[in-house]
Amino acid sequence: MIYYKYIRINVLIDQIKVINKFRFRKMAKLIDGNKISKEVLNEVSEELKKIQQKHPDFKPTLAIVQVGDRSDSNVYIGNKIKRAAEVGMDAKLVKLSNQITQVELEDEIDKLNKDHYVDGIIVQLPLDCVNEIDADSVIDQIHPAKDVDGLTRINAGKLMRGELKNTIFPCTPYGCLYLVQKATGDPNYVVGKRVVVVGRSKIVGSPAAALFMWHHGTTTICHSKTKDLKEVCKEADILIVAIGKEELIKGDWVKPGAVVIDCGINVRELEGGKRKLFGDVEFSSAQSVAGYITPVPGGVGPMTVAMLIKNTFQQGKARRLQA
């Protein structure tokens, strides 16, 4: 009889364990890029309103240079113009013919550089042009103080060397950093952490590695030639992925408790012609290992535009009001 009770108690304990395993299964906190990006935009909007009480004519302006008429570019540009309007800023589209030459395009940039009322200039990529254009050279024509995408070589050089003051950070890496700081609630969260950046593009990976390193992370940059990528990813307290390969990073590549920031935007055609976005991280497996994780969509994506608006606002303020 006593023995029988003992077995029953053990069965009960096992059942409780199973229930708890599901009930308390550790799931990563979701990093809500939509919400955090709105907070950024609201802050800009509030600060701008305050400034306008003293300087009613101050309306920061973003110039978007578009060559040709790519439909995907039109969507992205529409989104940027909408966000600018929401915070009370101006965004003007400089739409140029797909017949334009390098020299003509650089002249357009120069005009915007000289325009007192233009605070930020971006060139929408990729260019849609019948002529061969060196896009890097075009972007390098942008005055460093108006380079709100942070993509000129001057800004890249300053970032690499840790001259963080008066340097404009590229929007996506800046958004990644902001997400880590906001999600963890600690502006110094990066300090001393192992940071692994997967991908070394000009726009995301390379500047992200520099940005996180100068925020005092011990930063490793991985790329197509990296051996044993899985093992390197597992070292990361903060894992930034921007490699453009759908769901490459699996849950067992992630260190338990890590912050996972997924910059990937991969479109998968589903049955019936529907399309769905996927990141570079396999969300389903990673979310039960990570401490924090961004979804796709709704993670890094909305941050990029928010940081563009923030950069433009900051540069306008610095150049027009503090000069």
Name the residues annotated as catalytic. Answer: 80, 124, 149
When binding is defined by CB under 8 A, the residue of 30, 51, 94, 160 that contacts a copy of itself is 160
Residue 221 binding a copy of itself, by CB under 8 A: yes
When binding is defined by CB under 8 A, the residue of 114, 225, 274, 275 that contacts a copy of itself is 225
CA 160 to chain centre: 18
Give the binding-site size for a copy of itself (rule: CB under 8 A). Answer: 33
Residue 46 binding a copy of itself, by CB under 8 A: no
CB 222 within 8 A of CB 205: no
When binding is defined by CB under 8 A, the residue of 124, 206, 287, 312 that contacts a copy of itself is 206
Stretch that binds a copy of itself, among 24-32, 67-75, 171-179, 216-224 (CB under 8 A): 216-224
Closer CB to a copy of itself, residue 63 or residue 213?
213
Closer CB to a copy of itself, residue 55 or residue 161?
161
Closer CB to a copy of itself, residue 124 or residue 152?
152
Long-range contacts of 233-238 (CB under 8 A, 24+ apart): 233/196, 233/198, 235/194, 235/196, 236/194, 236/195, 236/196, 237/193, 237/194, 237/195, 238/180, 238/189, 238/190, 238/193, 238/194, 238/195, 238/196, 238/212
Cα 137 to Cα 169: distance, rounded to the nearest angstrom = 19
Residue 181 binding a copy of itself, by CB under 8 A: no
Closer CB to a copy of itself, residue 214 or residue 253?
214
Contacts of residue 167, defined as CB under 8 A and 6 or more positions apart, other chains included, come to 150, 155, 158, 159
When binding is defined by CB under 8 A, the residue of 191, 268, 284, 318 that contacts a copy of itself is 191
Residue 110 binding a copy of itself, by CB under 8 A: no
Residue 226 binding a copy of itself, by CB under 8 A: yes
Residue 232 binding a copy of itself, by CB under 8 A: yes
DSSP tag of 281:
B
Q: Which residue, among 286, 233, 263, has the nearest Cα to 28 in the 3D structure?
A: 286
Residue 163 binding a copy of itself, by CB under 8 A: yes
Rg of the chain in Å (alpha carbons): 23
Q: How far is the CB of 41 from a copy of itself (least distance, A)?
A: 29
Residue 100 binding a copy of itself, by CB under 8 A: no
Contacts of residue 313, defined as CB under 8 A and 6 or more positions apart, other chains included, come to 44, 47, 48, 60, 87, 89, 119
Binding region for a copy of itself (CB under 8 A): 136, 152-163, 191-192, 200, 202, 206-207, 210, 213-214, 216, 218-223, 225-227, 232
